[in-house]
Amino acid sequence: MILEKLHTRHEGTVQYSFADGTSLNERLGTEILLQFNGNIVCRKCAKSTKKSYGEGFCYPCFLAAPEASPCILHPELCEAHLGKGRDLAYEEKNHNQPHYVYLAATDQVKVGVTRVTQMPTRWIDQGAREAIILAETPNRYLAGVIEVALKEMYSDKTNWQNMLRDIQEQSIDLVEEKWNLLDQLPEDIGQYFTEDETVYTFNYPVISYPEKVAALTLDKEPRVQGKLTGIRGQYLIIDDYLVLNIRRHTGYEVEWK
């Protein structure tokens, strides 16, 4: 099996599966085995690569593929609205499309950007407990501009250790946070602010949250075996403290039992 980002469904409890449809929720509380055979396949060109770059690319594809463009991590750099980019068809389909700017609660409030069609997948992949839409823009660039304007007040990164330990400020009120930001937005982009107060909540299949976490990588630990005690974000929690980021290992060929 070639690892890809875990597939998710937002139900009462988030449902996780591998790309081939294999349910992970059904394995909760059971012994699992992931054995890496040393082969890594580029997610773009499908060629073998000795090292994975940018979550699943060989080095040439990392430099050239539109899926690895700098604006993936920095939306404010996007030029799709100008008819520019590594692949114009890709940019038009994915970046010159409506985007949300959102607030999400993991351990604290963070700001982020996602294409409208990626909601709520984006929030689940980050392990958010709650999320609210702040603004809707016609393209990725404008969403990135709003995100940059708010970075002095909010981080755009998730503290993965705290997220996996379920450490979160209990006083977070996303509706209040949202309305407090209205006057903080520059006048030219404040027009994209949305009055929608819907707060989306997410429950993850976790038996118990660990007090401490230790990250695993298949490069150093090619054989991962133990009891699956939880799944949150894109992480498997094993034996109550070991955590494996599946998305980080996109393209890795493994045996799964």
pTM comes to: 0.93
User: What are the C-alpha distances in Å from 26 to residues 16, 29, 71, 149, 205?
Assistant: 9, 9, 37, 43, 10
214 burial via Cβ count (<10 Å: 0-12, 13-18, 19+): exposed
Per-residue model confidence (pLDDT) at position 158: 87
Could you report the per-residue pLDDT of 64-112, keeping only the tens digit for each?
999 999 999 999 999 999 999 999 999 999 999 999 999 999 888 999 9
* Predicted local confidence at residue 183, as pLDDT: 80
Find the range with the poorest average confidence among 15-29, 35-49, 125-139, 165-179: 165-179
What integer pLDDT is reported at residue 169 of this predicted model? 81
Asked if 100 and 117 touch (Cβ cutoff 8 Å), the reply is no
CA distance linking residue 170 with residue 192, whole number of Å: 29
Distance CA 153, CA 163 (A): 20
For 5-59, what is each residue's pLDDT tens digit?
A: 999 999 899 999 999 999 999 999 999 999 999 999 999 999 999 999 999 999 9
How many CA atoms, within 13 angstroms, populate the side-chain half-sphere of residue 34? 27
pLDDT at 170: 80
C-alpha 139/C-alpha 189 separation (Å) is 12
Rounded-to-10 torsion of CA 73, 76, 80, 84: -90
